[in-house]
Structure 1
């Protein structure tokens, strides 16, 4: 029940908890750790059993945390547990006393730190830092026993219980060990991260230090000195003085401050001179700390969050080491030197992780894209070199275009269309001396572009767009019909045939889908030409692109609204979504609703939230989201034209009228410069309205491909369940194509274990609160370096849809089941088409991600909703219920009163 820390290994978390396991590993690696012991989880469980804690947890109910604490504090400590704790403490006291004063007849009780070490603590995905209690300066056997008991009880503080629930850690399986460690009479102490926790940069130690004990630094009770150092070279990149009194242990527990900032000879190892500028560490000590941090990181194989102290004789001690859980994982390196990665997930508004098979699908699509431009990868299943995976999300390597003169000219323009916030980051990176231009000639890019354009038939499609738009539109309709035919397989197809068909379909998806883009881009090009010829800015011409035809997403949303005007309203107004879904599946909704929803899903059922992941169910499989949207519309009474003028059909008509006025105004402005110019502007804007709606069609078709492949692979899953290989058909989405191929052939082994492990990783990544937009291969997040304060009274982003609206903010992190009252301001991380039904009742839009041509911005403009996108941390800085004004022309969001 009590072990010396030197006996502890990293694989003993179940016996000693995370903190003790980390300390034992440090000792085993030869790193300096103060002597100590750990009271194991066996002791805790003995007391917990005596307190009847298992039955209490099983019963649950309100006040569980308080009741559990009371029982643990009241339960008697078994005599053998008491003997183990007090005996181990006395042994520690003897060892410390002899080590400092030579052999003694009677060991003097030494002050110790008594610290909780839970089995759910210092884990790779959650630190649980500060969730349980620590007691400092504890002296004497009975005082130590009492502190141990209080640590046991702290496993059931309200904050610890809430943290476990938030991280999906069950209460029943958690145990608590207690570390009892000799106190270091610290002259200076603090914390050190071996990677920068703000910017993400690896091998950059960030050290906070203050005279006295480190507890005050950890708790935030002092403003410490800060140092930043390179753990590989020892270079000190930053020194910043804090303002802090030293702290000393208070007998029994806790810490207390002693006086003001110390004189030059106080609080320093050996009483020596202070560091530069009166700082509490010298440069040599900073480098020594950084070196120790590097050794700890190398031993654990991951960046570490450490605590440290410097004793009276100048000895540096590590008192804790745990993984830094907030760092975003890095992609596997595929090239030498610094690399720059752009998040495809962020650009698509899918902040959560993709399933393993969803990632495998995009690798095949990416390989097909590379082959279409004449650069096929060696292994299609591995994807093209420019595609990477990190944190179960997709990334695109921008290093080559960033180090090319032509790429630096083109990349900001491309990003401005869909990810405006990334433009400033790319321009900043272009000035980074670590990313010099290595490709100066534009000829290779031009040759590659010409070859790709020929392969994809771009010249002919541009000609259709310019001179025969009806042919271009007919082509897009045929494209959808041809795709439906390609996706169909006979019911007799074998699982192996379905797998091969899925891979062929995904590998050939890119040329099919991208064939629409030349027409849409021609429309946008003509729109830009008209702006130049008329002398008007793109912002002044925004209304031209309101209510454009041929956009499958707006057509879908309008059809859903029209459906709301035709169905019987009563079950939708009173029944919860789960009951509506049950009735729909059972075919017992009122007739008009049953038929109308089935018809809608027949056309749009392949769509869904986070639909770029083929591992995610479609609306046709789980119609709850669409039924919830219908219920929201019916609360707004669409048959009566909605509330407060929010009838989308009427809004669309008003948008068309506004577009006609904008075209007329641009033509009139151009006419003042010449009749020919006016004719060209009229032609260009007419074509722009005909063609720009096609921008959403490639994704519509891509999602149809993914849905078709998903249906085939679900049947493969059914087969593997029947064969006893998997437990559920949906488990196929946690395997890749090679594993599925082996499973179908009967040679797959251990697939259940593989699925379980990947599900655990997937769920862990779902809880990740932040995904970088751009990340460097050294872990740096450039946006963190450039983040600045917003102007007083407003937060700013990118103007996306002109207009001003004041309303009540509604922060929505997940559209499934979300309710938005008519006229409320939708505040969200980002959007894909699964979100857009909410736009029909929104008064305005504020979005953390995206640019002026991103999906949410395009739809907002078409509906005439004022919108600001690319607003940093909007979902944290704006609260639900807050009154805000959204100015879509200036790109500002202002709180009202």
Structure 2
């Protein structure tokens, strides 16, 4: 073989000649590990071919296109054919091996292309050329830019390896990549080839295995001859003296290794205690706030700055921390997850606790009035001024400046806002403890939930306003007909055709002007707020008027007043002693709930106005041909807003596809960190609002489904936020994939007096529309009603079909 092709294993030490992947495989071969045979088309072949074709100095996007189309030199093609014949002309895997790949600090995993099952000389040569071209995809170029790697003198080798007819394949991490635990290694596997696992298309079976004993410490089924694979992993880690990310295949003849590279971004090894490893924190709340991936523009302007501020605060407090890029990890092109860092207090953190306590107490005891004064005097005038501006008359730099001003305004106050919230939780816990002494544990939670209903806040006001609009529709036969017989797209034009409709339309416009800043799904610049989706308001109105039991009466009992009167009637010594403090604590909790709701609305108000400014930049990019629509600007990072149109279009296309791939099963926190509360086929979660209800399942995945919910149905959804609140007036119970007992859905369910089960993880997958279920929120379970006992009286204890409040 010549300098253009070398046998796999030869030249392993020459990273610049064979690239990172081939160098790693050659090192494995050099240490005697089992590796499928193959050869390498070297970087010299790439450089000579690109230079001869005159493509070396072209811009990346042009280089990507032209390399994929160029004719390969016949002499080089003949060398590749000869090497392929010497291998026996089998089916082969053709894999990119870049000079920037598999470094100790950066893997470049998945940035360059791989082709599996290639047979025949012509197909092999085409695959080699396509691998070369993948060095210049927008994805790879952007990855290098973000990572600080320059494109000077880059080159790409290609590994050609005999395909293994694998029964199983997968990856092995020689330390726990999530916790940093060096005592265990993790093995993931799929049936057949492992590419689907590596690319993220499949979620494999995961096993945690103790290195010392070679024993598995979880319940996943063991692999065949599993101990031999673990020994291989330990040996590779020892040979290279660093944690390794290893790809492997299995046939009845044994295990073979098809890649090994340093494991990058390994978190610090967690501190150990005599109690062993605990269950770790519950991340359901994070999943409730971010059920879908944040867009790239969110990552740049919202998520990274917030994490940077948090990590700076932790570092100043004496905690060992990582950098934001280690917390926000990219799992696909533009798609990220949050891997919470393992934090260990240093000595100075412990010594600094007394010094920090005054500041902590100052934040906890700070008056809410100070925050509200800032909102009234500074934030709202800023938001209103920018929202009134004609963005089309502003320069691009001015638009970016407006966004910076808006987002920095809320960024500077986020800590103050969150520091004011714990007092409510503390007051609620103390109030509950006092009520238990008066009326016992069974009734205390019910009475406290009633005392915390009907809190005056923006959410209550918006729900009241929407209920009044729905009442207008119910009182008018003509309006009821429009909402009953029309799609949400048809309703606006039909309303404009009659006097009553025009009056209603004006009320809806007023509603949107006041409350339309609400987010629809996630806290994001890339998702339209309610004011951009009047069809969602029409859908909620349609749901509120359908099957209403009493069109003339929509008022409900004032549960808070009734609960206060009930508390006043207790006359025991404990009641006389504790009643005053309990009511004071309830007052603190109610004011904190109001503050949380109002301040959240103010945050999303800023976001909605910043999005309006961003969309103007998107419209300009679309006019230049860089985007299909203004909304696609969310797929870009700030520095990419000025990309050439074709490069921008290609980049957005890649990221849109990556986002679509990620949506099924996505969790903002890696799934392995999220607690599962039961069997995969069981719908089990946390009790958020007690009670038992029987009803028909209605899956509500998003705002487009709002009109489908009918009174008395069981609402099963992936997440909720304040925009969903009117639906709680219809549902008999709520079952949510994400969230915990302090999430929005839990609080609203308790206020409405309907059972709620949170954090099931699988409710929207395990259940389907039309099923009859029992939601036992006392136990945190959802079960199907047996078909033979649906109508049997007493089959379910105290069933409810509708809200009682």
Could you state the TM-score of these two structures normalised by the residue count of structure 2? 0.63
**Number of the residue aligned with 1:699:** 600
Distance 1:724 1:519, change over 3 A: same
Are 1:836 and 2:725 counterparts?
Answer: yes
Distance 1:372 1:626 in 2: 41
Shift of 1:180: 12
Determine if contact 2:38/2:162 at 8 Å carries over to the other structure.
Answer: yes
CA–CA distance in 1 between the matches of 2:227 and 2:511?
Answer: 70
Aligned to 1:307: 249
In the other structure, the counterpart of 1:543 is 449
Superposed CA deviations along residues 458-494 of structure 1, whole A, max 9, x for unmatched, are 53437x9xxxxxxx98997778754544544643544
Tell me how far apart the structure 2 counterparts of residues 459 and 239 of structure 1 sit (CA, whole Å): 47
Give secondary structure in 1 for the equivalent of 2:705: coil
Any conservation in 2 of the 1:885–1:895 contact (CA below 8 Å)? yes
Aligned-partner Cα distance in 1 for 2:175–2:500? 53
In angstroms, what is the RMSD of aligned CA positions? 6.0
- Alignment match, 1:446: 357
Deviation at 1:828, TM superposition (A): 1.8
Question: What residue number does 1:572 align with?
Answer: 483
- CA–CA distance in structure 2, aligned partners of residues 502 and 386 of structure 1: 26
Q: Deviations over 1:228-277 (max 9, x none)?
A: 668xx7973439999999xxxxxxxxxxxxxxxxxxxxxxxxxxxxxxxx
Residue by residue over 1:578-624, the C-alpha shift from the partner in whole angstroms, topping out at 9 and shown as x without a partner, is 44467789999931342232122111222232241012122222323
Match of 1:851, SS state, is: coil
Give the direction of change, closer, same or farther, for the CA distance of 1:545–1:800 in structure 2 (3 Å limit): farther
Mapped contact 2:298–2:525 kept (Cα < 8 A): yes
1:700 positional shift? 0.6
Counterpart of 1:809 (choices 687, 697, 718) is 697
The residue aligned with 1:288 is 232
Query: Given that residues 168 and 189 in structure 2 are in contact (C-alpha distance below 8 angstroms), is that contact kept between their aligned partners in structure 1?
Result: yes
Alpha-carbon distance in structure 1 between the residues aligned to 2:110 and 2:259: 15
| SS state at 1:850 partner | coil
Residue aligned with 2:518, SS:
coil
Distance 2:192 2:373 in 1: 71
1:558 matched to which residue of 2?
A: 464
Q: What residue number does 2:517 align with?
A: 606
Is contact 1:813–1:829 with CA below 8 Å preserved after alignment?
A: yes
Aligned to 1:528: 429
Give the 3 Å change call, closer, same or farther, for CA 191–398 of structure 1 in structure 2: closer
Cα distance, 1:896–1:476 mapped onto 2, change above 3 Å: farther
2:767 to 878, 883, 889: 878
Contact 1:116 1:133 in 2 (8 A): yes
Q: How does 1:268-667 map to 2 (within 5 A)?
A: 280=225, 283=228, 286-288=230-232, 306-309=248-251, 311=253, 317=256, 336-337=268-269, 346-363=286-303, 366=306, 388=328, 390-391=330-331, 392-393=335-336, 395=338, 397=340, 399-400=342-343, 403=345, 439=350, 442-450=353-361, 452=363, 459-461=366-368, 481-482=380-381, 484-485=383-384, 487-488=386-387, 490-491=389-390, 493-510=394-411, 524-534=425-435, 535=437, 537=441, 539-567=445-473, 568-580=479-491, 590-637=501-548, 640=551, 649-650=554-555, 653-654=556-557, 656-657=558-559, 659-667=560-568
Tell me the CA shift for residue 854 of structure 1. 0.9
Task: Name the structure 1 match of 2:635.
Answer: 734
| Pairing 1:765–2:659 present | yes
Partner residue of 2:738 out of 832, 845, 849: 849
Contact 1:343 1:394 in 2 (8 A): no
Change in Cα spacing, 1:524 to 1:236, as seen in structure 2 (3 Å) is closer
| Structure 1 stretches lacking a partner, 5+ long | 10-21, 38-87, 97-111, 135-143, 149-178, 219-224, 246-278, 324-328, 405-435, 465-471, 642-646, 744-748
Change (3 A) 1:684 1:478: farther
Assess if the C-alpha contact under 8 Å between 1:544 and 1:662 holds in 2.
Answer: yes
Unpaired stretches in structure 2, ≥5 consecutive residues: 10-19, 40-80, 97-107, 124-159, 197-204, 272-279, 474-478, 787-805
Cα distance between partner residues in 2 of 1:364 and 1:226: 30
Instruction: Please tell me whether the aligned partners of residues 372 and 452 of structure 1 are also in contact (alpha carbons under 8 angstroms).
Output: no
* CA displacement at 1:863 relative to structure 2: 1.8
| Structure-1 separation of matches of 2:337 and 2:221 | 43
Could you say if the C-alpha distance between residues 518 and 670 of structure 1 is closer, same or farther in structure 2, counting changes exceeding 3 Å?
farther
Of structures 1 and 2, the larger Rg is shown by 1
Give the Cα separation in 1 of the matches to 2:653 and 2:175: 27
For the residue of structure 2 that corresponds to 1:885, the secondary structure is strand
Q: Matched residues in 2 for 1:620 and 1:195: separation? A: 47
Structure 1 contact 358–613 (Cα < 8 Å) conserved? yes
Distance 1:590 1:8 in 2: 75
Structure 2 partner of 1:80: none
Query: Does residue 725 of structure 2 align to residue 781 of structure 1?
Result: no
1:717 lines up with 2:618 in the alignment: yes
Number of matched residues? 642
Maintained 8 Å contact 2:735/2:760: yes
Aligned to 2:609: 708
Cα deviation 1:362-407 (Å, max 9, x = unaligned): 2476289669989999xxxx9979974544446484544x648xxx
For residues 698 and 342 of structure 1, the distance between their equivalents in structure 2, rounded to whole angstroms, comes to 24
CA distance in 1, matches of 2:206, 2:608: 52
TM-score where L is the length of structure 1: 0.57
Judge conservation of contact 2:291–2:667 (CA < 8 Å) in 1.
no
